[in-house]
Amino acid sequence: MDEPVLLTGAGGQVGRAILEGIGDQYDWRLFFHSQPDEEPEAEYFVGDVTDDEVVTDAMADVGAVVHLAGDPRKTAPWDSVLSNNIDGTQNMYEIAVDHGVEKFVFASSNHAVGAFETDERTPEMYRTHDEFRLDGSEFPRPGNLYGVSKATGEILGRYYHDEYGITVCNIRIGNLTRGHPPIDYERGQAMWLSHRDCAQIHACALEADYEFEIVYGISDNDRKYYSIERAKEVLGYRPMDNSAEWNGDEKVADEN
């Protein structure tokens, strides 16, 4: 990707993981919701993704968008996700296709399918021996209104791909934590995404050749109930981490 890549939500947790990991590999154009504390090294914009004017300015000459911006709270109220996540994502797509942007990577979420974690299936589904898998082809089952907004973002991507041909990758991001997996939290260990795997899967989504994809963004955790086969096959994703390699906050030494 030689042209600039517009990264929204650049100040958030996922945005920081991406910039730390692959910040020097792209000509980034950053989009922040509020003025960042430190002056960014890349060109940047501050505004709301529902604001046509600033998004239009930010989209000029962009080759790809990585759209992370939105209310990230799983308890976010409807009015906030309706505006920030649903309306904001539609605005990003509309202006992206207007500008002939080639590729759009959308930060979806495990919460788009959170209600598959039924009382009958949990906690067994979080454990290594359990063989239940979601593969990205399923009809969404959001666990909260935030998840509804993320599933809607995926469907907007489906529409803008089918109607305008823009390449779309939806990454259902798991549990991103820095350094080590969540402790004493089986669900979080099942869907852990390390910072370096987070950066890598976004680079894969920017580089690979595909049409429309929904993939799970997690590390290669023994406990996983999200399949990463599609991400490996289509995007060339090669996760380097696995929550099973950690015991508490200590990495388990490889005995060999």
Q: Does 229 bind a second copy (CB under 8 A)?
A: no
Q: Which stretch binds a second copy (CB under 8 A): 51-59, 119-127, 158-166, 243-251?
A: 158-166
Q: Does 94 bind a second copy (CB under 8 A)?
A: yes
Subset of residues 187 to 226 that bind a second copy, contact rule: CB under 8 A: 214
| Near a second copy by CB under 8 A: residue from 3, 51, 87, 245 | 87
| Residues with Cβ within 8 Å of residue 91, at least 6 apart in sequence | 49, 50, 51, 52, 55
| Near a second copy by CB under 8 A: residue from 82, 97, 208, 244 | 82
Q: Does 74 bind a second copy (CB under 8 A)?
A: no
Please report how close the Cβ of residue 78 comes to a second copy at its closest, in angstroms: 6
Q: Which stretch binds a second copy (CB under 8 A): 8-16, 156-164, 235-243, 247-255?
A: 156-164
For residue 250, what are the β-bridge partners?
247
| Residue 146 contacts residue 74 (beta carbons within 8 Å) | yes
Please report how close the Cβ of residue 92 comes to a second copy at its closest, in angstroms: 12
Q: Does 152 bind a second copy (CB under 8 A)?
A: yes
Sort strands 212-217 and 167-173 into parallel, antiparallel or unpaired: parallel
Q: Is 118 helix (H, G, I), strand (E, B) or coil?
A: coil
Of 146, 160, 225, 237, catalytic: 146
| Residue 224 contacts residue 190 (beta carbons within 8 Å) | yes
| Residue 122 contacts residue 114 (beta carbons within 8 Å) | no
Distance CA 217, CA 241 (A): 12
Q: Does 145 bind a second copy (CB under 8 A)?
A: yes
| Residue 223 contacts residue 126 (beta carbons within 8 Å) | yes
Q: Does 234 bind a second copy (CB under 8 A)?
A: no
Tokens of 149: 């907004």
| Near a second copy by CB under 8 A: residue from 107, 148, 171, 176 | 148
| Cβ closest to a second copy, residue 13 vs residue 90 | 90
Q: Indicate if 160 belongs to the active site.
A: no
Using alpha carbons only, give the angle 9, 167, 198 rounded to the nearest 5 degrees: 45
Please report how close the Cβ of residue 81 comes to a second copy at its closest, in angstroms: 10
Kindly report whether the peptide bond that precedes residue 181 is cis, defined as omega within 30 degrees of 0.
Answer: no
Nearest Cα residue to 26 out of 60, 59, 56, 63? 63
Subset of residues 25 to 64 that bind a second copy, contact rule: CB under 8 A: none
For residue 108, what are the β-bridge partners?
172
Q: Does 142 bind a second copy (CB under 8 A)?
A: yes
Q: Does 140 bind a second copy (CB under 8 A)?
A: yes
| Residues with Cβ within 8 Å of residue 184, at least 6 apart in sequence | none
Distance CA 13, CA 111 (A): 16
Just list the catalytic residues: 146
- The binding site for a second copy (CB under 8 A) comprises 78, 82, 86-87, 90, 94, 115, 137-145, 147-148, 151-152, 155-156, 158-159, 162-163, 214
